[in-house]
Chain A
Amino acid sequence: MSTPRILAWVAAAIAVAALLYAPMVLRSYGVYLLALWAVTTIAALGLNLTLGYAGQISLAQGAFVGLGAYFTALTTNAGLPYPLAFLGAGALTFAVGWCLGYPALRVQHHFLAFVTLAFTTLVFLLLRNEQWLTNGIYGINDIRRPTILGVATGRNVSFYYFALVMLALFTFVQWWILRSPWGRAFVALRENPLRAASLGVDVRRYTLMAFAIGSSFGGFAGALYAPLVQFIEPNSFQLTYSLKLLLMVLVGGAGHFMGPFFGAMIDLLLPEWLRFTQGYYLLIYAAMVVVLMIFCPKGIVGGFVILRDRLFKPAPVRRPDQPAGGTAAKPSA
């Protein structure tokens, strides 16, 4: 095993240990924020799949989180057990995401962004105006936290561990998807749809699939968001939230597996770091993001990749038929 690889495994073990140990040293708010980070990361993972790997711009991820959150709050209040509500939220958003994928078959890039933006507005209006169902602008308060396998998640620490397990589960699911033929088909779709089609990739099916799976991640995140925050209202799932999720993916590094983890961390925790600047913290936060995007357009993980290549650049791989000094096979980011 190579030195960078050993270092990487040690780092991963320390990271997991730190996340497990965090509640011992953090106060209630810190634990709450970590749980929110875990939940938000799941939503950002979904958007990373749709945008980063499959190349479909979506401004609707916040709306899917909202749909998942409302579905969970309404059904658990009506007496449905939480695990069923959780699965239902994922299934609902998978189906809606599949339908939203159809416009993506006809329009691309910023036109697709507009279509998904319209969808976000539609969901907001639905949540706000259908007061008989959603309690309208007043939102739904006092959402109960579930009991999972006999363990009550009422305390922030318990819910944090629950959210962390869910994050690990969805991280594994995404890792599995990406290394499966589906994942390679998504990347092919992003790089060159025509060539992907010529190689036998069903463009229509995989585009819809990318939307549906990404959206269902949003729905599952919503199903965790509702009991975590214990209050949901239509305003929380407006376009701003979708843009925030998009920002997380871009800042973290779209198309990089770890991108959403960093993006969510920056978005949720940077304002906390900057709190000492009083009224200027939003201004400084925005400026830092702009600077980051100028100097590191591929996001934080993109920056790590450049750093890694400088420190541990792999030796050029020479094919037997290639003359010495030829171009090296570069691992894709």
Chain B
Amino acid sequence: MMHTLRLRALSRRTALGALVAAAGLLALPGLSTGARAADDVFIPNIVELSGAGAVSGTNWRDGIILAVEELNAKGGILGKKLNVPHLDTQSDASIARAQVQKVMDDKPYVILGPVFSGSVLVTMTQAQQNEIPEIVGGEAAAITQKGNPFVFRTSFGQQASMPKIANYIRDGLKAKSVAVLWVNNDFGKGGRDNFMKEMQARDIKVVADVSTESGQVDFAADVVKLKNANADAVFVYTNEEESARFLKEARKQSLKGAMIGETTLLSQKVIELAGDAANGVKGHVGLSADAPVASLNEFGQKFKKRFNYANDHNAIKGYTAIYMIKAVTEKIGKFDSQAFAKALHGMTITPDKEPGILMEATWDQNGDIDRASFLGEVVNGQQKIVEVLPKIGK
């Protein structure tokens, strides 16, 4: 009797539940078929707004917001306003993929983001399948080595930045040995592999190879390993928050050897978080609001006024991405995704024709960017640019 009652109760609950579940699934806003307003240009931004990539993603998003506000105030592109929603990947590649799948339903003109290389590698396949250009913030070398004609960078890939760092270590620091500390994610592993290759090519001995975790808090044991290695220079390649924690621990343990980084280690966010511990850090900077370039300085001031914090390189990447779209669209004279991708390959955009691009930039056949860059140093809590490196193609 009890068993029968239990089964009846089970079947009632089962069925009632199934009904509510199904009704809920179908009542989702944004998932049902329906047309989007056609009087604007749909350029979705899929980016890391929470999770490990939130610092980079928020800067990227705010750079985009600034550019879109400026452009829409002037009437948009070719008379059409820009509609740029921001979708959070939660720093997870599978969610990034789902978000791209979602925006594809609305036939975007161009897609912006993500910044995390792993997410870029996943989403760029969808961009290619749908023949929609994707302007990304990722720096992993592999992104532009897969023959995808629809992916474009906004910053140097690791294959372009690591030779510059390697030359600096050999010629600028005259280091004979180096230790590497890297974050074991797709960004850090890719950078570490490229860096190792460049060190080998220059006969610089790598005396320590220390892998760290994304989100790691305690770097004490890693600094001990680096101290024991006694290298002339320590190359640090981790994300923003981890970089700051490492620098604090390195200062605490009086780690010797020049501290070298690539863009992130010298970024404004790391300097803010690490405080005095960031002083003395040197390295290559792809983009910086503190560079001796008037347009970059002006951008830095505008950004601070609008968002009340100092930007990092990701904000410049996001900002210039919007002006890339403007320059290419005005050149082709229409909103045609395929024509956009074709036109951008081999194209050079100069600040005299498009001031929003901030610095002259050229995109090659792989979607890699070529632009001047900088050698910098952190002095008294400020990033100081000591040398401007010309475009590789010059």
Q: Is A73 an interface residue (CB 8 A)?
A: no
Write out, one digit per residue, whether chain A residues 117-141 have a CB within 8 A of any chain B CB (1) or not (0): 0000000000010000000111101
Residue of B23, B49, B118 contacting most chain A CB atoms (<10 Å): B118
Question: Which of A230, A232, A261 touches B17 (beta carbons < 8 Å)?
Answer: A261
Q: Is B16 an interface residue (CB 8 A)?
A: yes
Beta-carbon nearest neighbor of B17 in chain A: A258
Beta-carbon nearest neighbor of B5 in chain A: A331
> What's the minimum C-beta distance from A234 to chain B, rounded to whole angstroms?
10
Across-interface contacts of A29 in B (CB, < 8 A): 31, 98, 101-102, 104-105
CB pair A265 B18 closer than 8 Å: no
Given contacts A15-B21, A229-B94, A272-B31, contact A331 B15 (CB under 8 A): no
Q: Which of A1-9, A80-88, A91-99, A144-152 has 4 or more CB atoms under 8 Å from chain B?
A: A1-9
Write out, one digit per residue, whether chain B residues 76-103 have a CB within 8 A of any chain A CB (1) or not (0): 0000000000111010111001100110
Across-interface contacts of B121 in A (CB, < 8 A): 138, 141
> What's the minimum C-beta distance from B177 to chain A, rounded to whole angstroms?
26
> What's the minimum C-beta distance from B167 to chain A, rounded to whole angstroms?
27
CA distance A28 to B103 in the complex (A): 10
Question: Which of B10, B19, B32, B185 touches A11 (beta carbons < 8 Å)?
Answer: B19
Question: Which of A8, A139, A265, A279 touches B25 (beta carbons < 8 Å)?
Answer: A265
CA distance A142 to B125 in the complex (A): 8
Q: Is B29 an interface residue (CB 8 A)?
A: yes
> What's the minimum C-beta distance from B126 to chain A, rounded to whole angstroms?
9
CB pair A8 B12 closer than 8 Å: yes
Q: Is B38 an interface residue (CB 8 A)?
A: no
CB pair A137 B189 closer than 8 Å: yes
CB pair A236 B94 closer than 8 Å: yes
Question: Which of A15, A136, A138, A314 touches B22 (beta carbons < 8 Å)?
Answer: A15
Number of interface residues of A (CB under 8 A): 66
Q: Could you tell me the dominant secondary structure of chain B's interface residues?
A: helix
CB pair B13 A269 closer than 8 Å: no
Q: Is B73 an interface residue (CB 8 A)?
A: no
Write out, one digit per residue, whether chain A residues 17-35 have a CB within 8 A of any chain B CB (1) or not (0): 0110010011111101110
CB pair A269 B24 closer than 8 Å: yes
Question: Which of A4, A27, A275 touches B105 (beta carbons < 8 Å)?
Answer: A27
CA distance A18 to B8 in the complex (A): 23
CB pair A301 B11 closer than 8 Å: no
Q: List the 8 closest A-B pairs by CB distance, nearest first.
A: A30-B31, A12-B15, A258-B17, A15-B18, A11-B19, A29-B102, A18-B22, A8-B15
Question: Which of B10, B21, B101, B189 touches A257 (beta carbons < 8 Å)?
Answer: B10
Given contacts A29-B101, A128-B184, A308-B13, contact A273 B28 (CB under 8 A): yes
Beta-carbon nearest neighbor of A26 in chain B: B31
Across-interface contacts of A258 in B (CB, < 8 A): 13-14, 17-18, 21
Q: Is B194 an interface residue (CB 8 A)?
A: no
Beta-carbon nearest neighbor of B58 in chain A: A279
Beta-carbon nearest neighbor of B211 in chain A: A129
A-B contact pairs, 21 of them (CB 8 A): A5-B12, A14-B22, A15-B18, A18-B22, A19-B22, A19-B25, A22-B25, A22-B26, A29-B102, A137-B186, A137-B189, A139-B118, A141-B121, A233-B118, A235-B93, A257-B13, A265-B24, A269-B24, A272-B28, A275-B87, A308-B13
CA distance A333 to B12 in the complex (A): 12
Across-interface contacts of A74 in B (CB, < 8 A): none
Q: Could you tell me the dominant secondary structure of chain A's interface residues?
A: helix
CB pair A304 B13 closer than 8 Å: yes
Write out, one digit per residue, whether chain A residues 240-276 have a CB within 8 A of any chain B CB (1) or not (0): 0000000000000000111001100100010011011
Q: Is A161 an interface residue (CB 8 A)?
A: no
Beta-carbon nearest neighbor of B189 in chain A: A137
CA distance A15 to B28 in the complex (A): 15
CA distance A229 to B87 in the complex (A): 18
CB pair B17 A18 closer than 8 Å: no
> What's the minimum C-beta distance from B346 to chain A, rounded to whole angstroms?
28
Question: Which of B12, B21, B93 touches A265 (beta carbons < 8 Å)?
Answer: B21
CB pair A18 B13 closer than 8 Å: no
> What's the minimum C-beta distance from B204 to chain A, rounded to whole angstroms?
24
CB pair A179 B7 closer than 8 Å: yes
- 24-49 of chain B: CB within 8 A of chain A: 24-26, 28-33, 49
Question: Which of B12, B17, B50 touches A262 (beta carbons < 8 Å)?
Answer: B17
- 309-326 of chain A: CB within 8 A of chain B: 314, 317
CB pair B104 A28 closer than 8 Å: yes
Write out, one digit per residue, whether chain B residues 290-308 have a CB within 8 A of any chain A CB (1) or not (0): 0000000000000000000
Across-interface contacts of B118 in A (CB, < 8 A): 137-139, 233, 235
Beta-carbon nearest neighbor of A307 in chain B: B16
Given contacts A137-B184, A138-B189, A314-B5, contact A14 B17 (CB under 8 A): no
Across-interface contacts of A165 in B (CB, < 8 A): none
Given contacts A15-B21, A136-B189, contact A329 B1 (CB under 8 A): yes
CA distance A72 to B210 in the complex (A): 32
CA distance A128 to B213 in the complex (A): 11
Question: Which of B32, B88, B92, B142 touches A236 (beta carbons < 8 Å)?
Answer: B92
Across-interface contacts of B16 in A (CB, < 8 A): 7-8, 11, 304, 308
Q: Is A287 an interface residue (CB 8 A)?
A: no
Question: Which of B8, B22, B23, B33 touches A27 (beta carbons < 8 Å)?
Answer: B33
Inter-chain pairs besides A37-B25, A331-B5, 18 sampled, C-beta below 8 Å: A12-B14, A18-B19, A18-B23, A25-B26, A25-B33, A27-B32, A30-B28, A137-B184, A139-B93, A139-B118, A156-B101, A236-B93, A262-B20, A269-B28, A272-B31, A276-B29, A281-B88, A282-B50
Q: Is B201 an interface residue (CB 8 A)?
A: no
CA distance A181 to B12 in the complex (A): 22
CB pair B5 A28 closer than 8 Å: no
Q: Is A231 an interface residue (CB 8 A)?
A: yes
CB pair A301 B17 closer than 8 Å: yes
